[in-house]
Amino acid sequence: MMPSHALTIAGRIFNQVVRDRRTFALIMIVPIVVMTLIWLSFPKEMGMLDYIAPALLATLAIFFGFLLTGISFLRERSQGTLERLMASPVSRSDIVLGYLFGFFIFALAQTVIILFYTIYVLDVHYTGDLWQIFVFQILVLICAINLGIFISTFARNEFQMVQFIPLIILPQVFLCGVLWPVEQMSTALQWVAKFLPLTYAVDGLREIMLQGKSLIEVGFDLGILVAFAVGISLITAFTLKRSAGS
């Protein structure tokens, strides 16, 4: 593995997105539109939005990170450029890391926009430290980006990739405590929730934002997310077979 290769790939991704102005504009604007729509649809009394906002922040980070990276990585394969890269001195780990670095910048920008818009424009209340919320969200993003790359290795085209959204993202919204507590679900579903990253993202972020807990206090959630991010990126590098174009 050569970090310079990963950085070269990340630089290329940055140039690609910035040169495609419409995509770049959409990446920046869509999170604001989505968050505004959610805000408009929620009753303003009883602090319901305050309660659900941390879960929404985590969900949107996973959703946008997954979508952005998954589709882009798939295009790398369908355009044949992945095949070309695989025949070069670049290793599979370089490619996964390059994608992680490259899309992290944009996913981070989205997260910052959502976070600040939610707190300062939509006036959602929180009690924890802003920087700790931010650090936690970064980890959620890394999970989402790795998940996007991993899942895209199973899709042969954009249509298939889009089908993975209801399969991978939507169940997490229902099973991971976004809408109702995990404890209220059946035992079987609670077990399923234990294997989904959004469960720990929602739990950790809620504890930081609503209860004012520190990153150390949500160490369990943090640890699971780190393990998930590392594990999924290792599996991705392994599954990214050299038969890239086949």
Partner 1 sequence: MLDAMSDKLAIEVEKVSFNYAKLKALSDLSLRIPRGISFGVLGPNGAGKTTLIRLLVGLLKQKEGRIQLLGQHPTRQMAHLIGYMPQQHSLYNELSVAQNVDFFAKIYRLKNRTERAKRVEEVLRLVNLWERRNDGIMKLSGGMKQRVSLACAIVHNPPLLFLDEPTVGLDPELRANFWQHFANLNSRGVTIIVSSHTMDDAAHCNRLAFLRSGRVIAEGTPLQLCQATGKPDATLEEAFLYFVRREGKNDA
Binding site for partner 1 (CB under 8 A): 4-5, 8, 12, 15-17, 19-20, 79-81, 83-91, 242-246
- Residue 15: CB minimum distance to partner 1, A: 6
| Backbone CA torsion sign across 140, 141, 144, 149 | negative
Tokens of residue 147, six digits: 């998940």
Query: What distance in Å separates the CA atoms of residue 101 and residue 98, rounded to the nearest whole number?
Result: 5
- Residue 242: CB minimum distance to partner 1, A: 5
Are residues 83 and 163 in contact, defined by beta-carbon separation less than 8 angstroms? no
Neighbouring C-alpha atoms within 13 Å toward the C-beta of 37:
6
Of the pair 186, 243, the CB lying nearest partner 1 is at 243
- Residue 80: CB minimum distance to partner 1, A: 4
Of the pair 8, 190, the CB lying nearest partner 1 is at 8
Of the pair 86, 215, the CB lying nearest partner 1 is at 86
- Residue 225: CB minimum distance to partner 1, A: 31
- Residue 5: CB minimum distance to partner 1, A: 7
Of the pair 81, 190, the CB lying nearest partner 1 is at 81
Q: Token match 């290795």: residue?
A: 153
The contacts of residue 139 (CB under 8 Å, 6+ apart) are 222, 225, 226, 229
Query: What distance in Å separates the CA atoms of residue 139 and residue 220, rounded to the nearest whole number?
Result: 13
**Cα-based angle 125, 130, 131 (whole degrees, multiple of 5):** 165
- Residue 74: CB minimum distance to partner 1, A: 14
Of the pair 93, 118, the CB lying nearest partner 1 is at 93
Of the pair 79, 127, the CB lying nearest partner 1 is at 79
The contacts of residue 102 (CB under 8 Å, 6+ apart) are 9, 10, 11, 12, 13, 14
Query: What distance in Å separates the CA atoms of residue 128 and residue 206, rounded to the nearest whole number?
Result: 9
